[in-house]
Amino acid sequence: MTTGDGSRIGIICRPTHHVFETVGHRLRDRGHEVTFLEPERELPRSAIEGVSLLVCKKVRPASVRALRTAERAGIATWNGLLSTTILASRLVMLKALSAVGFRVPPVTFEPPDEPYVAKPLYSWDGDPQIGGTGGFYQPLLETDGRDRKHYAVDDGRTLQTATVICTSKLLGEREVLGHESTPERDAERMGRLLSLADTEAIGVDVIESEGTHYAVDCNAAPSFRAAGLETALTDSIHESVPSGQ
């Protein structure tokens, strides 16, 4: 594995993030200069043009505009504009999940009579909630209250995956319950989704209802909390830096 030669990596993320703080340290150990950039703040062109690689960890309108500015300037991106916009639009995201073989709950644009989950159209507009109003609606499926959070990272050589079992965020503060192996079929689907979205890492939330698994969310910039993928993320970002920079 090569080391960096003074390449500057900009990461759109708070510097104390529980996973990317560690990734930043490891990238510096490989010889890169790492700068964390505020996700909620408009980034001046000068802040972007000085980097060799722009990493989007937090999806917000300002970070999407920063990715657009970077790509127009010919700057390499990790989890770039295409994947970020595809997966930030929840309806497009559900279509993408279905296209690679995941089963997704049906969608309506009027609140159904039975219990439902209301979802904003864009990920930065808030979290899904039980009841209320939203951009669209999906049935509230009966589950055991657990989410399987599948993560996939292309580290430059192979696809690294992890699955974290959590309590459902619909029911309150998310709590990590444990880990399990990522099913091979879901790993294959996530690999196809990485190719479809032209990206390096994703997170897919899967629930089980009456013996059927449904993908209910996909994130181009997931938290990777408790996934143990810091090495894979470091390798992936390191390998994404253009050679000679």
Question: Which spans in 148-200 are helix H?
Answer: 184-197
Which domains are delineated in the chain? Answer: 8-79+229-240 (3.40.50.20), 87-219 (3.30.470.20)
C-beta separation of 143 from 212 below 8 A: no
- b/e string for 210-232 if b means 16 or more Cβ within 10 A? eeeebbbbbbbbbbbebbebbeb
C-beta separation of 162 from 153 below 8 A: no
pTM over 0.85: yes
The residue type of 172 is G
Per-residue pLDDT of the chain (245 residues), as tens digits, is 455 566 999 999 999 999 999 999 999 999 999 999 998 889 888 889 889 999 999 999 999 999 999 999 999 999 999 999 999 999 999 999 999 999 999 999 999 999 999 999 999 999 999 999 999 999 999 999 999 999 999 999 999 999 999 999 888 888 999 999 999 999 999 999 999 999 999 999 999 999 999 999 999 899 999 999 999 999 999 999 997 65
